[in-house]
A and B are shown apart, each in its own frame.
Chain A
Amino acid sequence: MTRILLSDKLDNCVARWRKAGLTVIGPVKKETFSSYAVVEKAAEFDLGLVLPDRSIKGLFFPQTEPMLEYTIKKQAIDTKDFAPPSDKRIIFGARPCDASGLAIDDPLFGWDYKDEYWFQRRNETVIVSIACTRADDFCMCTSLKLAPDSTKGSDVLLRPLQNNKGWLVQELTDRGREAFSQIADLLQEGSEPAAPTVVVAEKFNLDACVAWLQNPANFDSSFWKEISMRCIGCASCTFLCPTCHCFDFQDEGDTYSGIRRKNWDSCSFALFTMHTSGHNPRATQSARWRQRIMHKFNYFPGKFSVNSCSGCGRCSRQCPVDMGITETLQAISTLKP
């Protein structure tokens, strides 16, 4: 016997959580575009999406965030910090790859400096993931040694029932247990079997790729130029990626007053590495693409023992010239280390 959440109780759950002061968020499709968005009713969720177009990242690391405000006066400089906003949230229906992406980035944001903006949101957000029973041609969690029912990064994992009437509940953390204690009376005991998770074929041999990337001789391989010749440097892959985390600081305003903001940035941009002198150490798009791959599968794991990719496939799904991590790693895994 396990606990079950029936779909027809979901609206009550949403109401209950909202009453308890939680902002309820979930996958929502609006006309041509889907994302994780705030809802008031369960009917607004689109739980049938393979995954939302936009990843979960922006809810923890927004595309633009004010850090401080400054005013320069004759004799003094006033500054005001923007504290990370407090908002208790529950994200219902996250995909396991998106939840994993957050866990992958935790060590990065907590490494030499603890990013309070990230961690406050992480600590205040309950993530309820739903195991995948559908995938598309771009999904590749299994190639990253994850799975359609990975628990990584989630506080609760739900498994869809075979009869499609609800989900089996697997609570994973105290945060998850607390959120589900608020709806305990809406759950029921049951022995319904879970639907099988989708089979996602492995697309490349990750270990072979990593071995090739770790060989310093391959840094200057002509492979990089060949594979990325069609890349137009549009940054969609990095901005949609749940694990890409680069940012830039910008002062907006004038000499006397303004706001300092933290904005998304991307290694796909030439400007990302441009020196004041005009010299650019990553002068070509191929050098930038190499950086993206090396960072995700060589440097990041070298530092944090985990690859900076959860296999969501967005980079390939959205690339205007049909490139992406998948094609590159598939090609690398056929090369001699």
Chain B
Amino acid sequence: MSNLPDRSGVSAALPTPLHSRTGPLCRTSNWRRWSGFLAADSYEPSHHREYHAVRAAAALFDISPLFKYRLTGPGARALADRMLTRDVTRLATGRVLYSPWCDARGKIRDDGTLQRLGEDDYRLTSAQPTLGWITDLARGLDVSVSDESEGTAALALQGPLSWKVLAAAGARAIGSPRYFGLTRAPLGGVETWISRTGYTGDLGYELWMPADGACAVWDTLIEAGRDFGIAPAGLAALDIARIEAALPLVHTDYVPAHEALIGAQRSSPFEMGLGWAVDLDKPAFVGKEALRAETGEPPRWRFCGIAIDWDSLERVFWRAGLPPLLPHGAVRSSAPLFHKSRQVGYASSRTWSPVLKSYIGLAHIEASHGPVGTNLEMQITVEHRPARVGVRVVKTPFFNPRRKRATPA
């Protein structure tokens, strides 16, 4: 009993390592709970400036509540390869990959990124606690799995000026990492891992550092970013940006396979538009048999982008004597989609996109109605009454600037 870690408390809403910085900034006290941590929804009364910082300057997010696991040892690669649907064996040191992972039925449990920090040293991020599952999977492999979720803080610096901020903060010397690259640099005197990744579909970086150095890194970035319009940003802004980038959100766009109560709640990577991340040629990974079998059948669902037709939106509101009312931010509740009188799917997230000036959404649609250009109807509520507006299946990502993949000098 005496070897238990000494903690001051176990709380339902722990401060993150950055709370001494984010706390005073959050003037609205608009906190959300994210994996049991306090996370700002927006620092200011409205999320607009924070959102626009993502698309026009640089936004700084505290993403410390992500779960982070460290896989080390000769079996680390084999473990990651067993777990993720993508081929991990070709991931070079200093590179990162995104991948979902599945249960034995080939349905997605979670998704995240795998960073290769060294020869036998990987960091895996996930949205949900996964330690028990990974540990079980590691059986028979010479690998150690440790949970560094609380010991490691994380920041996301996202936006067209993010490299400028990072360079000014001290990363210039190491050079800008390539898209999905990974480097190390001291920032504010703290050794920081910098990955060229993000959840906004923009130019951006994610920074990983020891929890006790997180505030020094934050301060350095805020200081360096002053001339570049840096803004601390919360989850509300992030949610809009990730929909524009067509990045799915667990629990919103899909139910983790192990939490599903009925089969219909589970999605395979193919049904989530992540078929590109399934490598059926690798020798073995969790769910492979099921996924292989699935490729033999026509897909049942597609995960699609939809754009809501403005004219029809205006029309249904006009009939109620109102101007079109747009959602304030991302909407995380589901809206049914119809083809004529038959329901053929549902939108799982939607938002007004300020950068595209368009009302967009992510949707699960029966495959036959999934091709780009298909016209459907979405049910919404207009002045307490159901109404249908036209939507069209469109290409994703909705917003896909060149700088997303660029390597600025």
A binds B: no
